[in-house]
Amino acid sequence: MALAYNHDEITPRELKPALLEMEGISRETIEAHYKLYQGYVNKRNEILGALASVDLAGANQVYSELRALKVDLAFAIGGIKNHELYFEHLGGHGGDPAGVFATLVRRDFGSVDAWRTDLKATGLAGRGWAWTAYDWDEGRLFNYIGDAQNTFPVWNATPVVALDVYEHAYFIDFGTDRGAYIDAFFSNLDFDVVNDWVQRYGVKP
Ligand SMILES: [Fe+2]
């Protein structure tokens, strides 16, 4: 059982070699990006360690150590989960999805093109992330928007595509042309990975 004050350390997942050989998104970008991810893991470990000895009697909504640690823990954990999705489902050959994910996309967006257009627009409108996630209460996929690692996830929705639109994801390769980066993101998606997740989660079309 993992108690609330358990602060076992976690370690970063290894980077898939295919991520260093992508079209459009350079090795330089991925290596720098992976270091940021390692930073989120380190800070998550550090924050949980600090929480183990925080003074609960000092809790205060304006400022307190507990508040600061828990707010930034959400940022660090978001940074870990978002980037684990991002790195895991890149390194593929893009194109159109097949399998269960394609069926879900056509059902919930009308077509693959409509899904892609909506996700790209959501990525252009966000300041940090855009996610395709399955909302278990509504029983459908939707493209959600994020401004940071910890905004704005929706409870009981499971992300299956995670599009990082922080400038660190593309500035080296594309300058300010985020749209071109998003096109490269789609070209390097591995839909087999996405379909594995969808099947493992038991999402039914
Ligand atoms: Fe990132």
Tens digit of each residue's pLDDT, the chain (205 residues): 556 667 789 999 999 999 999 999 999 999 999 999 999 999 999 999 999 999 999 999 999 999 999 999 999 999 999 999 999 999 999 999 999 999 999 999 999 999 999 999 999 999 999 999 999 999 999 999 999 999 999 999 999 999 999 999 999 999 999 999 999 999 999 999 999 999 999 999 8
For residue 8, the model assigns a pLDDT of: 86
- The vertex-143 CA angle with 139 and 144, nearest 5°, equals 100
Helices (H), the chain: 27-51, 65-88, 99-109, 112-125, 171-174, 178-187, 191-201
How far apart are the C-alpha atoms of 88 and 12, rounded to whole Å?
12
The alpha carbon of 63 and the centre of ligand 1 are apart by a number of angstroms equal to: 28
Q: Do the Cβ atoms of 39 and 86 come closer than 8 Å?
A: no
Q: Chain-centre distance of CA 91, in angstroms?
A: 15
HSE-CB for 75 with a 13 A CA cutoff: 14
Q: Do the Cβ atoms of 125 and 145 come closer than 8 Å?
A: yes
The alpha carbon of 60 and the centre of ligand 1 are apart by a number of angstroms equal to: 31
For residue 6, the model assigns a pLDDT of: 75
The alpha carbon of 169 and the centre of ligand 1 are apart by a number of angstroms equal to: 6
The alpha carbon of 1 and the centre of ligand 1 are apart by a number of angstroms equal to: 31
The alpha carbon of 164 and the centre of ligand 1 are apart by a number of angstroms equal to: 6
DSSP 20: G
Classify the phi-psi angles of 154: left when phi > 0, otherwise alpha if psi is within -120 to 50, otherwise beta: beta
The alpha carbon of 33 and the centre of ligand 1 are apart by a number of angstroms equal to: 6
The alpha carbon of 93 and the centre of ligand 1 are apart by a number of angstroms equal to: 21
Distance of CA 62 to CAs 8, 59, 65, 69, 111, Å?
A: 29, 9, 10, 13, 47
For residue 24, the model assigns a pLDDT of: 98
Task: Report helix, strand or coil for 145.
Answer: strand
- Model's pTM, two decimal places? 0.96
For residue 113, the model assigns a pLDDT of: 98
